[in-house]
Chain A
Amino acid sequence: MTRTFRNRRTALLYILPALFLILSLVFLPIVLNLYNSLFRWNSFDPGRTFVGLEYYIRLFKDPVFYTALKNNSLYAIISLVFQVGGGLIIAAILEDKLIRRFQPFFRTIFFIPSVISIAVVGLLWQLLYNPEVGLVNGALKAIGQAEWAHSWLGDSEVAIYAVVAVSQWQYTGYMAMLFLIAMQKIPFEYYEAAMIDGASRIKTFFNITVPQIKEMLLVGSVITVIGAFKVFDEVYIMTFGGPGRSTEVLGTMLYRSAFRNDEMGYASTIGTIVFVITLTLSLVQLKLGKSGQEV
Chain B
Amino acid sequence: MKIKAKLLLVAMLALSLFVAGCSSSSSTNEEESGKVVLKFLHKWPQPEFAPYFEEVVKEFEKQNPDIKIKMEAIADEPIKDKLRVILGGNEVPDIMFSWSGEFARKFVRADAALDLTPYLNEDAAWKDSFIPASLQPFSADGKNYGIPLRFNGKFFIYNKEIFEKYNLEAPKTWDEFLDVLETLKKGGETPIILGNQSPWAAIHYLTGLNQKMVSQDIRMKDYNPGSGEFTDSGYVKAMEMFADLNKKGYLMKDANSSSHDMAKQLFFAGKGAIFYVELEEFADADKNMKGNWGFFPMPSIEDGNGSQNYITGAPDGFIVSSKTKHPEEAIKFLKFLTSKESALKLVEQIGWPSPIDGATNPDTALKEVAEGVDFMKQAEGMAEWLDTDVHAKVADVYLTNIQLLLDGSKSPEAIIKEVQDVAKQVQSEVE
Q: Which residues of A contact B (CB under 8 A)?
A: 6, 9-10, 13, 16-17, 20-21, 24, 40, 42-46, 126, 129-133, 151-157, 240-246, 256, 258-263
Q: A interface, by DSSP: helix, strand, loop or mixed?
A: loop
Q: Name which residue of chain B comes closest to A130, CB basis.
A: B257
**Which of A21, A151, A244, A261 makes the CB contact (< 8 A) with B257?**
A151
**What is the bound-complex CA distance between A244 and B106, given in angstroms?**
25
**What is the bound-complex CA distance between A244 and B403, given in angstroms?**
6
Q: How far is the CB of B257 from chain A (nearest CB, A)?
A: 3
Which residues of A lie under 8 Å from residue B255 when comparing CB positions? Answer: 154
**What is the bound-complex CA distance between A10 and B87, given in angstroms?**
43
Q: Tally of A-B residue pairs with Cβ under 8 A?
A: 108
Are B400 and A132 in contact, with the CB atoms below 8 A? no
Q: How far is the CB of B419 from chain A (nearest CB, A)?
A: 14
**Which of A44, A130, A151, A259 makes the CB contact (< 8 A) with B106?**
A44
Which of B26-34, B107-115, B209-217 is the interface stretch?
B107-115
**What is the bound-complex CA distance between A42 and B112, given in angstroms?**
13
Which residues of B lie under 8 Å from residue A42 when comparing CB positions? Answer: 84
Tell whether A16 pairs with B14 under 8 Å between CB atoms, given A242-B199, A242-B400, A259-B84: yes
Q: Which 7 A-B pairs have the closest CB atoms?
A: A154-B256, A154-B257, A243-B403, A151-B254, A244-B404, A44-B110, A43-B88
Q: How far is the CB of A245 from chain B (nearest CB, A)?
A: 5
Q: How far is the CB of A169 from chain B (nearest CB, A)?
A: 19
Are B254 and A17 in contact, with the CB atoms below 8 A? no
Q: Does B396 contact A (CB under 8 A)?
A: yes
**What is the bound-complex CA distance between A261 and B254, given in angstroms?**
27
Most buried by A among B11, B254, B396: B254
Q: Name which residue of chain B comes closest to A256, CB basis.
A: B396
Are B3 and A262 in contact, with the CB atoms below 8 A? no
Q: Which residues of B contact A (CB under 8 A)?
A: 3, 6-7, 10-11, 13-14, 18, 80-81, 84-85, 87-88, 106-107, 109-110, 112, 196-199, 253-259, 262, 266, 392-393, 396, 400-401, 403-404, 406-407, 409-410, 429
Are B110 and A16 in contact, with the CB atoms below 8 A? no
Q: Name which residue of chain A comes closest to B262, CB basis.
A: A130
Tell whether A244 pairs with B401 under 8 Å between CB atoms, given A17-B14, A153-B257, A154-B257: yes
Q: How far is the CB of B408 from chain A (nearest CB, A)?
A: 9
Are B109 and A44 in contact, with the CB atoms below 8 A? yes
List 26 A-B residue pairs with CB atoms under 8 Å apart, sorted by A's residue number.
A13-B6, A16-B11, A16-B14, A17-B14, A21-B14, A24-B18, A44-B87, A44-B110, A126-B259, A129-B257, A131-B257, A151-B257, A152-B257, A153-B257, A154-B254, A154-B256, A155-B257, A242-B256, A242-B400, A242-B403, A244-B404, A245-B400, A259-B81, A259-B84, A261-B393, A263-B393
Are B199 and A20 in contact, with the CB atoms below 8 A? no
**What is the bound-complex CA distance between A241 and B88, given in angstroms?**
26
**Which of B11, B253, B259, B400 makes the CB contact (< 8 A) with A244?**
B400
Are B409 and A260 in contact, with the CB atoms below 8 A? no
Q: How far is the CB of B18 from chain A (nearest CB, A)?
A: 7
Are B404 and A130 in contact, with the CB atoms below 8 A? no
Which residues of A lie under 8 Å from residue B392 when comparing CB positions? Answer: 260-262
Q: Name which residue of chain B comes closest to A134, CB basis.
A: B257
**A-B contact sample (10 more), CB < 8 A, given A6-B3, A262-B392:** A16-B7, A17-B10, A20-B14, A21-B14, A151-B254, A157-B409, A242-B199, A244-B410, A246-B404, A259-B80
